[in-house]
């Protein structure tokens, strides 16, 4: 894993949206409270734009936050993040980190891609695991299975194209995630229908 340091958290999370180009979720790390809030805006934008992304932040001790006792940077980040991302998970034990990462990767990529937040309370950050902890590492298999349309849906689309007076093909992120360059190119070549690829400019048609 290659690490890049950024001067601001929002820039770091924005940079991690490069996962849209690689097909793998980018990962951004932030400090707690103000650092988390700086990154949250970029996390929300990633979710809105269907960019697979994982933001990981340290947070305050749970017993202080849950009883609203007040503490330095004592923000309930887990609940703050929920409305702005596809999913949020709190990791209370270091031994669960492998499971949390695997779940975050699958969630970020599957279905409609988006941002995932992992909350690491102070006790987790300072926790330790046994040196031989391979059992805690999970391999994510087929995180984003292909979703194929029904034959009926394809037939309806063909009929719409046949009967359209001025058809145009709008290529969205789904075409990009499906890596369907060859199929889209064949469709355009055969039908001569004009196309617009604004939402997936890196799809080479």
Residue 64 falls within a domain, yes or no?
A: yes
27, 118: one domain: yes
Tens-digit pLDDT profile for residues 44-98: 999 999 999 999 999 988 878 877 777 777 899 999 999 999 999 999 999 999 9
Q: Which domain holds residue 30?
A: 9-136
Higher pLDDT, 90 or 181: 90
Residue 141 falls within a domain, yes or no?
A: no
Tens-digit pLDDT profile for residues 91-126: 999 999 999 999 999 999 998 999 999 999 999 999
78, 173: one domain: no
29, 127: one domain: yes
Token pair of 110 as six digits: 């599957």
- Averaged confidence pLDDT in the chain: 89
Q: Residue 21: its pLDDT value, please?
A: 85
Distance between CA atoms of residues 191 and 71, nearest Å: 64
Burial zone of 32 (CB within 10 Å; 0-12 exposed, 13-18 middle, 19+ buried): buried
Residue whose pair of structure tokens reads 């063909």 in the numeric block:
158
91, 65: one domain: yes
């Amino acid at each position: 894993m290659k690490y890049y340091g950024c001067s601001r958290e929002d820039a770091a999370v924005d940079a991690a949206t490069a996962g849209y180009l690689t097909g793998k979720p980018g990962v951004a790390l932030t400090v707690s409270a103000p650092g988390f809030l700086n990154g949250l805006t970029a996390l929300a934008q990633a979710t809105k734009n269907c960019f697979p992304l994982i933001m990981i932040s340290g947070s305050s001790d749970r017993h202080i936050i849950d009883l609203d006792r007040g503490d330095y940077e004592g923000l309930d980040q887990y609940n703050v993040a929920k409305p702005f991302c596809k999913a949020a998970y709190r990791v209370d034990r270091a031994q669960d980190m492998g499971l949390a990462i695997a779940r975050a990767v699958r969630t970020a990529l599957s279905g409609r891609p988006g941002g995932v937040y992992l909350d690491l309370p102070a006790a987790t950050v300072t926790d330790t695991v046994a040196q031989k902890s391979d059992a805690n590492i999970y391999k994510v298999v087929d995180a984003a299975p292909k979703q194929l349309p029904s034959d009926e849906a394809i037939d309806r689309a063909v009929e719409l194209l046949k009967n359209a007076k001025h058809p145009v093909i709008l290529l969205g992120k789904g075409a990009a995630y499906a890596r369907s360059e060859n199929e889209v190119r064949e469709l355009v070549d055969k039908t001569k229908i004009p196309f617009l690829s604004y939402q997936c400019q890196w799809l080479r048609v």
